[in-house]
């Protein structure tokens, strides 16, 4: 069967972002088979954007009530025509050879789901570049977001994830947990025997239109859901999931030691932050390096605190996580 890839894009109140993404899809060096846009109960719809591209791109447009990104992705995949689906967030922009890289990889490798990394475009502002640095640098995340093509058991992220029709149908797609629906789906696919792959050349420019306050809210939520996934799938728990919480505890320890006259640990912390600043300065420039320090601090503190809070709440309660943390689960599914 010929390879036919349907792009699936859920969107909520962001028509400007959709326009930029569609421009990058129109500029692909290989012909696009299908683009499925799912309007997830938006008040600011994308009708006018779709009208502007309907003569130049193979577009399909659905509107539905708001049920969240995971269910909207399921909704789109259930109605797409391709035998592979590529799921994108609306705040992503694709390099012109993205689709070519995916086609070439799938022609030579038999995999059922895959993904690529994200990076910052030169045109992004300093804060976007700083957040991208803190989320992808080896110094901050150990390269866990796909820095090397040799990564095994790669966990595709839903801003840039491909999945075969067979894998979608057998797994049922994304679940109700949010955020965390992408690692949840990945682990269920592994359990079903499907192989994942990392495609180095299939990266996206991820705009992340957020300020530092919203960034804290985002990473805090990521930290909160991770212990739930660890309990659900204990065989896929990693010690590295504890690192932001250990960093938070280490900072408190260093400060307490400094109060009693033992400043060595605090000096180690300052030296690490200085190293982070200098690496960012060399790679990204002065303005970005200035913002990297607060962005990194927010990432570690937000995730670490959220992780510890959920761990403690789960240890003190025998309730099912869905009942204990209702804000982390969507209640309704329309995707099938």
pLDDT tens track for 105-115:
999 998 999 99
Q: How many CA atoms lie within 13 A of 298 on its CB side?
A: 21
Backbone angles phi, psi at 122, to 5 degrees: -55, -25
Q: Which helix (H) or strand (E) holds 7?
A: strand 5-11
How far apart CA 298 and CA 253 sit, in angstroms, is 18
Give span(s): CATH 3.90.550.10, the chain: 5-116+156-209
pLDDT in tens, the chain (336 residues): 688 999 999 999 999 999 999 999 999 999 999 999 999 999 999 999 999 999 999 999 999 998 889 999 999 999 999 999 999 999 999 999 999 999 999 999 989 999 998 888 888 899 999 998 998 888 887 655 544 444 457 889 999 999 999 999 999 999 999 999 999 999 999 999 999 999 999 999 998 767 899 999 999 999 999 999 999 999 999 888 999 999 999 999 999 999 988 999 999 999 999 999 999 999 999 999 999 999 999 999 999 999 999 999 999 999 999 999 999 998 765 545
DSSP 35: E
Q: What percent of the chain has pLDDT over 90?
A: 80
DSSP 241: G
Q: Are 210 and 131 in contact (CB under 8 A)?
A: yes
pTM for this predicted structure: 0.88
Chosen CATH of 5-116+156-209 out of 3.55.10.10, 3.90.550.10, 3.40.1260.20, 1.10.10.10: 3.90.550.10
Question: In this predicted model, what pLDDT tens digit does every residue of 104-150 receive, in sequence order?
Answer: 999 999 899 999 988 888 888 999 999 989 988 888 876 555 444 44
Q: What is the mean pLDDT of the chain?
A: 91
Strands 118-119 and 84-88, sheet pairing? unpaired
Q: Are 158 and 294 in contact (CB under 8 A)?
A: no
pLDDT at 147: 46
């Amino acid at each position: 069967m010929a390879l036919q890839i349907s792009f699936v894009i859920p969107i909520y109140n962001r028509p400007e972002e959709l326009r930029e993404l569609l421009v990058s899809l129109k500029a692909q060096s290989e012909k696009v088979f299908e683009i499925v846009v799912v309007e997830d109960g938006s008040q600011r719809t994308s009708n006018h954007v779709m009208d502007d591209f309907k003569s130049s791109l193979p577009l399909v447009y659905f509107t539905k009530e708001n049920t969240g990104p995971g269910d909207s992705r399921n909704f789109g995949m259930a109605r797409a025509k391709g035998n592979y689906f590529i799921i994108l967030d609306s705040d992503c922009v694709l390099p012109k050879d993205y689709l070519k890289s995916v086609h070439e990889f799938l022609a030579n490798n038999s995999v059922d789901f895959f993904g690529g990394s994200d990076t910052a475009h030169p045109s992004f502002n300093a804060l976007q570049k700083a957040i991208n640095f803190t989320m992808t640098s080896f110094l901050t995340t150990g390269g866990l977001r796909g820095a090397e093509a040799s990564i095994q058991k790669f966990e595709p992220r839903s801003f840039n994830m491909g999945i075969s029709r067979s894998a979608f149908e057998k797994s049922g797609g994304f679940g109700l947990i949010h955020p965390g629906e992408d690692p949840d789906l990945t682990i269920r696919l592994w359990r079903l025997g499907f192989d994942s792959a990392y495609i180095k050349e299939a990266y996206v420019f991820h705009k992340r239109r957020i300020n530092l306050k919203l960034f804290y809210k985002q990473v805090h939520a990521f930290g909160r859901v991770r212990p739930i996934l660890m309990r659900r799938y204990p065989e896929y728990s990693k010690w590295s999931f504890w690192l932001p919480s250990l960093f938070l505890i280490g900072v408190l320890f260093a400060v307490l030691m400094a109060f009693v006259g033992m400043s060595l640990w605090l000096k180690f912390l300052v030296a690490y932050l200085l190293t982070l600043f200098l690496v960012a300065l060399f790679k990204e420039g002065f303005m970005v390096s200035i913002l990297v320090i607060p962005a990194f601090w927010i990432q570690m503190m937000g995730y670490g605190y959220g992780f510890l809070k959920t761990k403690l709440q789960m240890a003190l309660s025998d309730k099912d996580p869905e009942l204990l943390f209702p804000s982390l689960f969507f209640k309704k599914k329309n995707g099938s």
